[in-house]
Amino acid sequence: MHWSLSIIEVGVIPDVPLAAHVPGTPPEVLVALPCYCFLLTDGSHHVLVDTGADARSSAIAGLDIEGDTRELLAEGLQGCGVEPDDVTLVVHTHLHYDHVGNDSCFPRAEVVVQRTEVRWATGSDRGPYYVEVPALLDALGERVRPVEGDIELLPGLQVLWNGGHTPGHQSVLLTTPSGGVCVCGDIVPMKVNTGVVGSSCPRSAEAEQFLTIARAAGWEMIPSHDPELRAHPACVGKG
Ligand SMILES: [Zn+2]
């Protein structure tokens, strides 16, 4: 089964220290990094990878996102001819606030996340970028589908646990007519991180291991926050 990818820009995080992704950059160098959601379709299933931020959780995390994510996501989906109710599967690469803010817009979707990520995101060592995850999980209820490791969700569509950025981080691998395409998530925030692991991946050995597998497989790597993605042929969002 062949899948296709649409990249929807859903806002911009201003003033990110580039040093978090590019080792050796002076700490004062700040960049504005886009956030994206990724729509995957095989013609009959519509799968959304991550749902962007919402204004409230961004404010709580202390990182305001420029742009109305909810509106940009709705417009982007509409541009692909997809209604929110058509999305029957949401995959979360991880549960940081800028990836889970609009789950409530997709009431028919099962929500796939690694069990390890759920555990970490609700534990005491989770760090500042998890915002009210217990409330999110409560709201989703039985729609949450915790998975463990590498799982085929549908023919030609897999999630791959890889850690690196967070203990339960996963990427999504789709089979396309031109080969494997990996929607990386924050294990590869910028294209440069296909070659070098930045400090935003503190579990660097896991990230290195995943990059080695990806290189050997020859997948196209789709980063999560790279401005260059705006020029990708699959990009439909306009931030
Ligand atoms: Zn993250």
Give the distance, in angstroms, between the CA of residue 46 and the centroid of all CA atoms in the same chain. 16
What is the CA(95)–ligand 1 centre distance, in A? Answer: 7
Q: Is the dihedral of CA 186, 192, 196, 200 positive or negative?
A: negative
Domain assignment present for residue 28? The answer is yes
pLDDT tens digits along 123-135: 998 988 999 999 9
* CATH (domain of 158): 3.60.15.10
**157 contacts 172 by C-beta, under 8 angstroms:** yes
User: What CA–CA distance (Å, rounded) separates 68 from 153?
Assistant: 30
128, 153, 106, 160: which is closest to 59 by C-alpha? 128
Residue 64 pLDDT grade (very low, low, confident, very high; cuts 50, 70, 90)? confident
- What is the b/e burial string over 65-87, where b = at least 16 CB atoms within 10 angstroms of the residue's CB? bebebbebbbebbeebebebebb
Domain assignment present for residue 193? The answer is yes
Give the distance, in angstroms, between the CA of residue 68 and the centroid of all CA atoms in the same chain. 18
User: In 3-state terms, what secondary structure has residue 188?
Assistant: coil
Structural domain tally of the chain? 1
What is the CA(129)–ligand 1 centre distance, in A? Answer: 7
Residue 233 pLDDT grade (very low, low, confident, very high; cuts 50, 70, 90)? very high
User: In 3-state terms, what secondary structure has residue 227?
Assistant: helix
Domain assignment present for residue 179? The answer is yes
| Conformation bin of residue 52: beta by default, left when phi > 0, alpha when psi is -120 to 50 | left
| Consecutive H or E run containing 69 | helix 69-79
For the sheet with 151-154, list strands across it.
151-154, 157-161, 170-176, 179-185, 220-223
What is the CA(75)–ligand 1 centre distance, in A? Answer: 24
What is the CA(26)–ligand 1 centre distance, in A? Answer: 22
Angle among Cα 45, 49, 50 to the nearest 5 degrees reads 135
Domain assignment present for residue 49? The answer is yes
Residue 35, pLDDT score: 96
47, 42, 45, 173: which is closest to 106 by C-alpha? 47
What is the CA(186)–ligand 1 centre distance, in A? Answer: 5
What is the CA(213)–ligand 1 centre distance, in A? Answer: 21
pLDDT tens digits along 1-57: 799 999 999 999 999 999 999 999 999 999 999 999 999 999 999 999 999 998 888
For residue 84, give both structure tokens: 């929110």
Q: What is the separation, in whole angstroms, between the first and last Cα of the chain?
A: 31
What is the CA(93)–ligand 1 centre distance, in A? Answer: 8
Domain assignment present for residue 237? The answer is no
What is the CA(193)–ligand 1 centre distance, in A? Answer: 14
What is the CA(161)–ligand 1 centre distance, in A? Answer: 15
pLDDT tens digits along 144-192: 999 999 999 999 999 999 999 999 999 999 999 999 999 999 999 999 9
- What is the b/e burial string over 34-59, where b = at least 16 CB atoms within 10 angstroms of the residue's CB? bbbbbbbbbeebbbbbbbbbbeebbe
Domain assignment present for residue 236? The answer is no
| Consecutive H or E run containing 147 | strand 144-147
**146 contacts 113 by C-beta, under 8 angstroms:** yes
Domain with 21 in it = 4-231
Domain assignment present for residue 142? The answer is yes
Domain assignment present for residue 53? The answer is yes
pLDDT tens digits along 85-118: 999 999 999 999 999 999 999 999 999 999 999 9
Whether pTM > 0.85 for this model: the answer is yes
What is the CA(12)–ligand 1 centre distance, in A? Answer: 14
**187 contacts 210 by C-beta, under 8 angstroms:** yes
Residue 206, pLDDT score: 98
